Amino acid sequence: MADEFQLRAYCYLDRMQPQYAAFVGTITQGDLPVEGMASLYVEMAPGNWVFRVVDIAVKATEAKPGAQIVEREFGMFEIHSLSQEDVIQAGLMVLDQLGLAVTDRKKPEIASVQVITNVNPYQAQLLNRFSRGMMLVPGQTMLVMECAPAAYINLAVNEAEKAAPVNLMHVSSVGRFGRMWMSGSEADMIAARDAAKNALNDIEGQP
């Protein structure tokens, strides 16, 4: 493997939650995921490595690619399947071909967490202009989280949805930082925040 290769994120989701899977379906350019599928996000640098790595992953099992993205700095891909074993095996094959271990990935860093109560109607309207998911209703509490590497935000969102009845507004998982927006009651947003933070903090990796 070339010395310059960096495994920025290796992010496994055991079971895609209903809102998260529905949201991904609105933005993916590849195979459409559905609720209950396992998913794997891999982010790397330089970005052009993504083409080789996706090729390894899709040849390894029947897992299907949902995303293959190269942007200014990084490359990222996602694969999914109703078979957790297929997704896990495809990921292990990628690591084996690259001569890496899961722990060679970067450990996620939480850059910002905000719980905003009693959202103003005008702010809600501004936020709803870009949302691809649920609309933010004035008076609700909003959770906004930012992390790096960006791909890890997918795990944070999925685990937050497991923990509380959230309204998933939007997810951005490409670039230097990943961000998520969700809304609901204050108690539910605190539960979602804690679940998301714990999921990211539990990931082992390099600083």
Whose CA is closest to 173, among 196, 151, 147? 151
72 — pLDDT class (breaks 50, 70, 90): confident
Of 81, 104, 127, at which residue does a domain stop?
A: 104
Over the stretch 85-123, which tens digit does the pLDDT of each residue have? 999 999 999 999 999 999 999 999 999 999 999 999 999
Q: What is the mean pLDDT of residues 55-75?
A: 94
Over the stretch 140-151, which tens digit does the pLDDT of each residue have? 999 999 999 999
Of 85, 104, 123, at which residue does a domain stop?
A: 104
Residue 159's domain is classified under what CATH number?
A: 3.30.70.1710
Mean confidence (pLDDT) of the chain: 96
Q: What is the mean pLDDT of residues 29-41?
A: 96
pLDDT of residue 24: 97
What is the C-alpha separation between 61 and 87, in angstroms, rounded? 8
Of 104, 134, 160, at which residue does a domain stop?
A: 104
**Do 13 and 76 reside in the same domain of the chain?**
yes
Tokens of 31: 């195979």
Q: Domain total for the chain?
A: 2
Is residue 155 in a domain? yes
Q: What is the mean pLDDT of residues 42-70?
A: 95
**Do 27 and 82 reside in the same domain of the chain?**
yes
What is the C-alpha separation between 14 and 36, in angstroms, rounded? 8
27 — pLDDT class (breaks 50, 70, 90): very high
**Do 100 and 115 reside in the same domain of the chain?**
no
pLDDT of residue 4: 85
Residue 167's domain comprises: 109-201
Is residue 136 in a domain? yes
**Do 115 and 156 reside in the same domain of the chain?**
yes
Over the stretch 185-195, which tens digit does the pLDDT of each residue have? 999 999 999 99
C-alpha pair distances (Å), 42 with each of 10, 69, 117, 122, 140: 5, 11, 34, 37, 34
C-alpha pair distances (Å), 200 with each of 65, 128, 139, 196, 205: 24, 27, 29, 6, 11
What is the C-alpha separation between 89 and 3, in angstroms, rounded? 25
For residue 7, give the amino acid letter.
L
**Do 129 and 65 reside in the same domain of the chain?**
no
**Do 176 and 191 reside in the same domain of the chain?**
yes
pLDDT of residue 123: 96
For residue 2, pLDDT over 70 is answered with: no
pLDDT of residue 163: 98
Q: Say what the pTM is.
A: 0.95
Is residue 12 in a domain? yes
pLDDT of residue 3: 56
Q: What is the mean pLDDT of residues 158-175?
A: 97
DSSP 37-100: -EEEEEEEESTTHHHHHHHHHHHHSS-EEEEEEE-SS-EEEEEEES-HHHHHHHHHHHHHHHT-
Task: Compute φ and ψ for 132, nearest 5 degrees.
Answer: -105, 0
For residue 29, pLDDT over 60 is answered with: yes
Is residue 206 in a domain? no
Is residue 1 in a domain? no
**Do 83 and 117 reside in the same domain of the chain?**
no
pLDDT of residue 26: 94
